[in-house]
Structure 1
Amino acid sequence: MTTKHIPIPMDGASFQRTLALQHRAITRIAFPPSLLLQLVYLPILFCGLILWVKPYLFSFWAQCIAFWSGFLGLSLGFPSNGAAPAETDPLGLIWSGGAMAMYSPTALELVISALLVIAALAASALMIGALAPLKYVIRILATVVAVSIAYFMFWPTQFPYSIASHIRDIASLGYVLLLVVPVMLTFGYYVFPFSLALKIKNTLLILAYFVIFIPLQIVLHVLILQNFSLLFAPVLYICFGTLLDVLIFIALYSWAASTIPEEATIPAT
């Protein structure tokens, strides 16, 4: 909040009255032609770049996933000996771990998971004070797992997704997120009049983060699904897929916004 002291004479005397000016968060920003051009060509430039590098990007992701899959002993890799894979994801990788039923949860796993859900919900009820926000996260996760348990209990053979399709969806949505990032930055970051070089640098850093993070995210999902079961596919997809990516973007945007010079957010008077 900016204040200004204005002397006002009164009966031969004077006093100072404090006048509160409008907060910068609700003031209007002037848009000179150069800034308007940035709002147009920056998202076009970055989206065009992402579209152009798509084959190289997916190739990098595939190489990264294949490396970690081999290191961790996952049933995921490139086809060998010219064999046609039964399931292929957009990265060109194949899943060689057998039929989907092999990774469906057993009755024992369902019972253990249900007990863990009940325990998590009970523990969340005891979280008060500084731990209060955490209990809502635990309840959301427990609810998603509980719905998944109910689905596998009543319709165990009708689950429409496999590990390979899960990989495909996470990779495809991750690529879409890369395209959305410049558009979102246009409305909340590029609109401020500050260094163009800083805007480009921070945008590239945010995009680079997701380029590295998404294949590692896929590897972690595959590691969990292969060593446990498809029971956790919904919670991984809903809570630790695109939603997690969006939350990370918000955190990265907050970091980028903190680098904006203060004078760029205060309109000229």
Structure 2
Amino acid sequence: MTQRHLAREVLARLRAKGHRGGTIATHRAIWRLSLPRGRLWGSVALALGLSLALWWLRPWVGRFWGMQLLWWMQVLALPGRFDLGGAGVATHELFAVSVPSIELVQAVPDDWAPVWHGAALTMLWWCTSWLPEPAKPIAFFVRLGVLIHAAAVLFFAFWPASFVHSIGSHVISGMRQAWYLILLTPWIHLATFYLFPFAMWQRTLLTVLTAAYLAVLTPLQYALHVALVQAAGLILLPVLHLLFGVMLAIVGFVALYGWGMSWPAPSASGDREAA
């Protein structure tokens, strides 16, 4: 054995050692994933079955959302007109859900509102610089919101009449986005969760919990949007749409997925194959 060959063997052994001499295990992200055909076809069947169940439930989902919005508008005494079936489903929209229509009666906009909003944004930007280092991600998120709202403030300061969106269109589009995310949940989980060796009940549970979370969050979220717009005006609509619309639902979606990935998978090989 030549000295060069010996050196290569030593380097190969050292490459798998940590700085304390322990062996560095292969990270789970680069393990070879065994994908039996039974698990693959079972996962596809599960995603299809859950999608059909969600599609079948869409009339009740739309009715539940409408009743929740109506209840909150009555409790908060928000002036306006509410139509439970105002934004119905067209015949060609096979997967759409019927969402409520809202026409909010708003007060005359305050001409000084952009000034007050601009002052508050300046103060908020300055305050984020005082956050400690571990809270920097929060500071970045807050400053992103400040930039988005600052753009809206400038728009409303110079071209307020050019803003064509309304709280009604915001609620309709936001709820439909949430519904399409619910419909896509089984297929997103198929590509990111079902293919791992989890039991069938674990796959089903994660998808059901995620869909339930989105179904409950959506009416509460947009009822809050309606109340905020009634209090502060349409100037809040851009930041509500971009940061606290479907983005909020996606954050919760990812959080539930991370929780599901921490579940222990069946340890027995028979359970893994059956899964």
Give the TM-score normalised by the residue count of structure 1: 0.81
AA partner of residue 251 (structure 1): A
Residue correspondence of structure 1 range 58-207 to structure 2 within 5 A: 58-75=62-79, 78-79=82-83, 88-90=86-88, 91=98, 93-98=100-105, 102=106, 105-207=109-211
| Aligned residue in 2 for 1:244 | 248
Inter-partner Cα distance in structure 2 for 1:120 and 1:154: 23
Once the two structures are superposed, residues 132-168 of structure 1 have per-residue CA deviations (whole angstroms, 9 ceiling, x without a partner) of 2221011101001100011111211111200110110
Give the secondary-structure state (helix, strand or coil) at the position aligned to 1:31. Answer: coil
1:230 pairs with one of 234, 241, 251: 234
Tell me, yes or no, if structure 1 residue 43 matches structure 2 residue 59.
no
Give the secondary-structure state (helix, strand or coil) at the position aligned to 1:243. Answer: helix
Inter-partner Cα distance in structure 1 for 2:139 and 2:23: 44
8 Å Cα contact 1:174/1:242 also seen in 2: yes
| Aligned residue in 1 for 2:262 | 258
Inter-partner Cα distance in structure 1 for 2:119 and 2:24: 58
Inter-partner Cα distance in structure 1 for 2:72 and 2:80: 9
Once the two structures are superposed, residues 173-223 of structure 1 have per-residue CA deviations (whole angstroms, 9 ceiling, x without a partner) of 110110121121112210112211121122111111111111111101001
Q: Summarize the Cα distance change of 1:120–1:60 in structure 2 as closer, same or farther, 3 Å threshold.
A: same
Inter-partner Cα distance in structure 1 for 2:249 and 2:108: 27
Identical columns (%): 26
Shift of 1:97: 3.1
1:214 pairs with one of 218, 223, 232: 218
Give the TM-score normalised by the residue count of structure 2: 0.80
Inter-partner Cα distance in structure 2 for 1:18 and 1:258: 25
8 Å Cα contact 2:152/2:235 also seen in 1: yes
Q: How many residues align?
A: 242
Give the secondary-structure state (helix, strand or coil) at the position aligned to 2:160. Answer: coil
Inter-partner Cα distance in structure 1 for 2:185 and 2:115: 41
Give the secondary-structure state (helix, strand or coil) at the position aligned to 1:70. Answer: helix
8 Å Cα contact 1:65/1:219 also seen in 2: yes
Inter-partner Cα distance in structure 2 for 1:95 and 1:185: 33
| Aligned residue in 1 for 2:5 | none
Structure 2: stretches of 5+ with no match in the other structure? 1-20, 89-97
AA partner of residue 237 (structure 2): A
Inter-partner Cα distance in structure 2 for 1:198 and 1:57: 24
